[in-house]
Amino acid sequence: MATDLRIDRLRKEFQSPGGETVVAVNDVSLRIEKGSLVTLLGPSGCGKTTLLRLIAGFEEPTAGSVYFGDRRVNDEAPNVRDTAMVFQSYAIFPHLNVFENVAFGLRMKRVSGREVRRRVDHVLDLVGLGRMAARAPSQLSGGQQQRVALARCIVMEPGLLLFDEPLSNLDAKLREQMRLEIRDLQQRLGITSVYVTHDQVEAMSISDVLVVMHDGTVEQIGSPSQVYARPANRFVADFIGKVNFVKATLAAGAVTVAGVRWPVPDAPDLPDGSPVTLVLRPEAVRLSATEGPLAGTIRRTVFLGNHAEYVVSVDGVGDVLVDEPNPIDAGMRRPGDKVSLSPVSGSLHVLPATS
């Protein structure tokens, strides 16, 4: 049965060999709803793996609690927590064939032979390995091995499925395919899942909710579109996607950038004239070859197939990164071209200058 998960002021300190205390997870609280896929996302060392391991029971918290539904599981060993973890390294047994790898946990639980066959066959079909049951792991590709690892978890019907950077060892194309498969399976089976990655595209494409972490703390919790469009601070804005930070002043629901007023939605409640930072995504600006209020010159161009990336040197602002879709149809702009900038106003976001 899927379960919901609650983490209450969870803290984990490690002692480094030099006797220093490292706070890997710093009083984190969050709630993960039944059936959802939540991703812990952040740069290396932000504490996401430690948080996942605390949930699994592989680490003991220094303080705080983990609840599965109403049950406080702090004192429960990993094997009784009703969780299963898909590891980056697959961790499948090389001496057992695919069927026996997937059957292993059920056999340990003394499930009857007939039931084992029924459940393993079903799960192997779900992950597309129905015809490979007799193969040895050495006869499988990396993607197939990762499917075995996934099947081995799913067959146990855990209340909570944990993923520790499961796709890091796969090439880019396969990673893209596997993440869609994982998401599809997770939704079909309705398994509550916690997924750890440092790859923001992977995180955005599979998650109901992102938990963006930095230095052991949570910077923002929200849907991928909330976190991308309305980042809580500069760290989140910079970590998720590309961004320009532009100095501006705020007055009457609009920012003034180099003397030009751009209305913004959801402007923070600050006194008129406050200095702010405009979070300007590359696609939140339109370029025009005609003269306009905010003028600039194309400085660098990069053709990326489905879009072009331009660095525009803007008078009174500095360099601004701008994306334009479909350069094959629209034609590439050239270094030295004069352009003017206008905003896609719904896409603008403003942070206090101190954020």
Phi, psi of 210 (to 5 degrees): -105, 140
Of 47 and 61, nearer to ligand ATP (C-beta) is 47
Given the complex with ligand ATP, which of 60 and 266 has the nearer CB atom? 60
Q: At what angle do helices 113-126 and 142-154 cross, to 10 degrees?
A: 130
Decide whether 217 or 313 has the Cβ nearer to ligand ATP.
217
Does 105 sit near ligand ATP (CB under 6 A)?
no
For position 46 contacting ligand ATP by CB under 6 A, the verdict is yes
Q: How far is the CB of 24 from ligand ATP (least distance, A)?
A: 3
Q: Is 168 in the site for ligand ATP (CB under 6 A)?
A: no
Helix (H) or strand (E) holding 146, with range, is helix 142-154
Give the residue at shortest CB distance from ligand ATP.
49
14 scored as a contact of ligand ATP (CB under 6 A): yes
Q: Which is nearer to ligand ATP, 15 or 112 (CB)?
A: 15
Q: Does 152 bind ligand ATP (CB under 6 A)?
A: no
Report in angstroms the alpha-carbon separations of 328 from 300, 305, 308, 324: 17, 8, 9, 11
> Which residue in the set 39, 50, 144, 145 belongs to the binding site for ligand ATP (CB under 6 A)?
50
CB-based contact 332:303 (threshold 8 Å): yes
- Taking the C-alpha atoms of residue 128 and residue 121, their distance in angstroms, rounded to an integer, is 10
Contact 126, 151 (CB under 8 A): yes
| 42 is a contact residue toward ligand ATP (CB under 6 A) | yes
Contacting ligand ATP within 187-206 (CB under 6 A): 198
Does the footprint of ligand ATP cover residue 16 (CB under 6 A)?
yes
- In DSSP notation, 283-294 reads GGEEEESS--SE
By CB under 6 A, residue 49 contacts ligand ATP: yes
The correct pick among 18, 21, 44, 304 for binding ligand ATP (CB under 6 A) is 44
Selected from 2, 5, 10, 24, the binder of ligand ATP by CB under 6 A is: 24
Task: Please choose, out of 45-53, 139-147, 176-184, 292-300, the segment that lies near ligand ATP by the rule CB under 6 A.
Answer: 45-53
In 3-state terms, what secondary structure has residue 240?
Answer: coil
End-to-end CA distance of the chain: 42
C-alpha 286, offset from chain centre: 28
